[in-house]
Amino acid sequence: MWCFLNVAARDQMLSEVEIPVIDVSSLMTKTNEIGKACRGQGFFYITGHGIDEGLQQRLEGLSRVFFALPIEEKLRIRMELGGRAWRGYFPPGGELTSGVPDCKEGIYFGEELSSENPKVTAGIPLHGSNLFPRHPGELRETVLEYMAAMTSLSHRLIAAISLSLGLSKDYFHEHYTPTPFTLFRIFNYPVSRDDAWGVGEHTDYGLLTILKQDATGGLEIKTKDGWMEATPLAGSFVCNVGDMLERLTRGVYRSTAHRVHASRDHDRLSFPFFFDPDFNAFVRPLAQLHDYVDDSYKRWDDESVHDFEGTYGDYIVRKVSRVFPHLLRDSQM
């Protein structure tokens, strides 16, 4: 295993601010707590989410089997073979953050679409079929089952977020997520004997990210007082606001920068699920918040999500092309 990004030391003290823990077993009674978390750190843990523990354990075990394979075997499903769908495996150093290769490897998945699907025949980027390995063969069924469960959970969470903004429960579903654009990643962060970043400072592109992490730790969240650790909490997921939810709410809900510090002792697995607007949805700020635009803080990339105009597809294709520039060229997008 290898990677490019090394730092001499962690550059700031860790904040002692705590991340909220919200039991969502009775989700619609927790809208105030969710709203407070989205306005504050932009991150929160959820428990009582109802995602089967056996399914999670199966996913983690099969992922470890895959990443333990020889690199030649993993490259049988390399992303270059996924074409415009941009699915498959990338090796350590194969993904960029702010132009710098990350110290991680991973597999990209999306909604499973056949070659006859109208979105695929139309050549729409980021749509198509997934690439699954021959071994372990059970990974395909497990990934698709997990994605279906996470999509259902995401619909519930976005309904609660809608209510937390004083909107109807179905507002997001009606305007932005009747057919959400969903992405799923399985990442492996190899052990690093240097003080290395598995992935550098960044924010997520879409509405909502729901992260399953293993017990290793390493996720850090930026606060006004420094960086704080998102310590693994058994039975929980970590949720965070994405750039498009920040844009929709005019900065009321904040997309917070985060990063991953590589472990010296254990490989680290993480499973981020991204719940995003429909690919063709125009992402406009909510009219109900017309008197509020908070762009007063300095984002990690010096950009403003409030300057963006267009569809979510326009936005994410431009963003992803920075992460995998060679795939943009190879796909002739």
Answer yes or no: is 12 within a domain. Answer: no
Query: Picking from 141-150, 165-174, 254-263, 270-279, which range would have the lowest pLDDT averaged per residue?
Result: 254-263
The residue that leads in pLDDT, 6 or 16, is 16
Amino acid identity for residue 21 in this structure: V
Q: Is residue 159 scored above 70 in pLDDT?
A: yes
pLDDT value, residue 298: 66
Answer yes or no: is 190 within a domain. Answer: yes
Answer yes or no: is 258 within a domain. Answer: yes
Q: Regarding beta strands 43-47 and 21-23, do their DSSP bridges make them parallel or antiparallel, or are they unpaired?
A: parallel
Provide the phi-psi class of 72: left if phi over 0, else alpha when psi is between -120 and 50, else beta: alpha
Answer yes or no: is 114 within a domain. Answer: yes
CATH of the domain at 35: 2.60.120.330
Residue 192: give the domain boundaries.
Answer: 21-331
Indicate the average pLDDT of the chain: 88
Answer yes or no: is 312 within a domain. Answer: yes
- Structurally, the chain folds into a number of domains equal to 1
Q: How far apart are the first and last CA of the chain?
A: 31
What's 159's DSSP letter? H
Question: What six digits make up the tokens of 61?
Answer: 């075990």
Tokens 């705590």 correspond to 18
Query: Picking from 8-12, 154-158, 164-168, 286-290, which range would have the lowest pLDDT averaged per residue?
Result: 8-12
Answer yes or no: is 5 within a domain. Answer: no
Answer yes or no: is 88 within a domain. Answer: yes
Residue 306's pLDDT band (cuts 50, 70, 90): confident
Q: Is residue 96 scored above 90 in pLDDT?
A: no
Answer yes or no: is 124 within a domain. Answer: yes
Among 5-9, 110-114, 248-252, 319-323, top mean pLDDT goes to 110-114
